[in-house]
Structure 1
Amino acid sequence: MAVHKAGRKAVRVATAVVAAALIGVAASACGPDDNGDGGGAGKSSSSAPESSSSAPDSKGPDSKGPASMGPASVKGGVITVGDPKAKHTVKVYEDSRCPFCKKFEEGGAQALVGPVAEGKVKVEYVIASFLDKNLGGSGSVNAANALRASVEAGKFPQYHAAVFASQPEEESHDAYTPAFLLKIADKVDGLRSGTFDKAVTKGTYKKWVGEAMSTFTDDGVQATPTVLIDGEKAEGEALYDQGAFAKELKKAGIS
């Protein structure tokens, strides 16, 4: 009897360990979920990064900030930053309302700025909008539309950084309204214009937003952020630390 009890206890402990591991995985990414429960979309707010009202430095090619990464281009549902002929490619799948995408942008993604500016790597962004379905509202669609508009203005890297830096404290708060997105745009020199403002307020690129979401789905991606380095998925906490992600890039020959 004692042996059976010990065996049952061991099973319970093992089950608890597995469950804890799964919770840890779910708490480090945002996932599409038809049940609307967030699919690990950061319901545990303690795991999400704190909000910031300031955008990363975007001024001047010598700052090694977003501006130094050069202009962006669009092909299908993908926005590409950097030299299209760069030897290496990093593909980034994000949803603007995902707190872990913000954590990536303020952590691991910072290791990309230099290599992109130097022409060693290009970054392909797929801007998803599934969290609107999970959490309600239209913030992800609004933000994706505004980000697409910033490409036409030649300010995508700077505005992309500003949008994530200005992410609301709770991803369930649908704060990415057109008015708020225009307020964020004020932080990027030269972005605001009649054309840009109209695109943001009128949803000029919502058809493209759907195309980007189709790309996300067709690529079989299950969570954001998902990051591929030359086709290989970057895993774990390395996404959220600049030094650790720099090591992952170096393994792929990017430094």
Structure 2
Amino acid sequence: MSEKNRDGKRTARERLAADREKQKAAEKRRRALIVGASVVCVLGLAAVIGVVAANAGKDKGGESAGPVVAPSGAQGKDSLAVPVGKDGAKATLTVWEDFRCPACQAFEAAYRPTLHELTDAGKLRIEYHLVTLIDGNLGGTGSRNAANAAACAQDAGKFRDFHDVLYENQPKETDDAFADNAKLIELAGKVDGLNTPAFRTCVEDGTHNSWVVKSNEAFRAAKFGGTPTVLLDGKNIYQDQTMTPAKLTQLVEDANKG
């Protein structure tokens, strides 16, 4: 083998080694960015306990202009709560959630059958507060746009069904797919009778965007640590790592006995 050929092969090997190092470094940076942006979830027994590392300095609550238009039937202070269940229920669950939040989706997956059963039986009333924490931390408008669409579904009397569909089709946290109104309207097709001209106009016009922003401001003012925040009659049960659907059912049953 000539000296020239040996030099050529050595140079090629060096180039390949340098390329591999560059690829390793790029992958390391990518993983660090994903980890730094992720929701932190902690699993406790049968309960799903999630904590979002909230960054209040970055969370601006979304950009919006125009009047604050609450969805039909909204209740509570400043009409920021979307109620599900009977007003006369003796137990009230308050849920602060973000449709882009993986921990919120995990909570829904674990507790949804129980929540449906208790609300349908008239034993529990849920007040949903929609926030934009992930938009503030990662950028984008998916949290706000999904919340607006959910408020539009509330106008149509189909909030709970669409709420469930959004979580069943939640994109990865770093994928701002819900920022696309066309995607939200497509998902509305999974709820019977929701994808109407009135709903589409409400979504596309961002009718409730300012209301969502105001809800997020209330979340920040309350200084909650992350989403979901779940309160049963004012007590934060989400921080209880022994909480399970069965335990929640018992607490609600006890409230209804009193």
TM-score normalized by the length of structure 1: 0.70
> Match of 1:175?
177
For residue 125 of structure 1, give the secondary structure of its aligned residue in structure 2. strand
Equivalent residue runs for 1:32-111 within 5 Å: 32-34=54-56, 73-75=73-75, 76-111=79-114
CA distance in 2, matches of 1:164, 1:88: 24
Q: Distance in 2 between matches of 1:231 and 1:118?
A: 21
The structure number with the bigger radius of gyration is 2
Paired AA for residue 184 in structure 1: L
Residue aligning to 2:189: 186
Kindly indicate whether the alpha-carbon contact (under 8 Å) linking 2:90 and 2:255 is maintained by their aligned counterparts in 1.
no
Q: Is 1:151 the counterpart of 2:154 in the alignment?
A: yes
> What is the aligned partner in structure 2 of residue 233 from structure 1?
236
Cα separation, partners in 2 of 1:210 and 1:195, compared to 1, 3 Å? same
1:131-167: per-residue Cα shift (whole Å, max 9, x none)?
Answer: 1111111000100100100001010000000001100
Give the match for residue 31 of structure 2: none
The one-character-per-residue Cα deviations of 1:231-255 (angstroms, maximum 9, x if unpaired) are 111135566xxxx223133134268
Contact in 1 for aligned 2:51/2:225 (Cα 8 Å): no
Q: 1:30 aligns with which of 52, 55, 61?
A: 52
Query: Superposition RMSD on alpha carbons, in Å?
Result: 2.3
| Structure-2 change in CA distance of 1:111 and 1:238 (3 Å) | farther
Among all aligned residue pairs of Structure 1 and Structure 2, give the percentage whose two residues are the same amino acid.
35
Q: Determine the structure 2 residue equivalent to 1:250.
A: 250
1:129 to 128, 132, 141: 132
SS at match of 1:171: coil
Which of 122, 142, 148 is the matching residue for 1:139? 142
Tell me the residue number matched to 1:195. 198
Normalising to structure 2: TM-score of the pair?
Answer: 0.69
Tell me if the contact between 1:185 and 1:191 (Cα under 8 Å) persists in the aligned partners: yes
Deviations along 1:164-196, whole A, 9 cap, x unmatched? 11001x201100010111111010000011110
Alignment gaps of 5+ in structure 1 = 1-22, 38-71
| 2:115 counterpart of 1:112 | yes
Tell me by how many angstroms 1:77 deviates.
1.2
The Cα offsets for residues 99-138 of structure 1, whole Å up to 9 and x where unpaired, read as 0100111112321111101111100001111211111110
The 1:175/1:249 distance shift into structure 2, 3 A limit, reads same
Is the CA contact (8 Å cut-off) linking 2:54 and 2:226 kept in structure 1?
Answer: yes
Distance in 1 between residues matched to 2:99 and 2:213, nearest whole Å: 14
Supply the distance in 2 between the matched residues of 1:224 and 1:202 (Cα, whole angstroms).
Answer: 27
Counterpart position of 2:24? none
Q: Which residue of 2 aligns with 1:163?
A: 166
Post-superposition shift, 1:216?
Answer: 1.4
CA offsets per residue over residues 211-237 of structure 1, 9 Å max, x none?
Answer: 211221233211111111111111355
Over 3 Å counting, the alpha-carbon distance change for 1:111 and 1:24 in structure 2 is: closer
Size of the aligned set, in residue pairs, is: 194
**Contact preservation (8 Å) 2:85, 2:122:** yes
Residue 206 (1) aligns with residue 209 (2): yes
| Counterpart amino acid of residue 55 in structure 2 | D
Provide the residue aligned with 1:18 in structure 2.
none
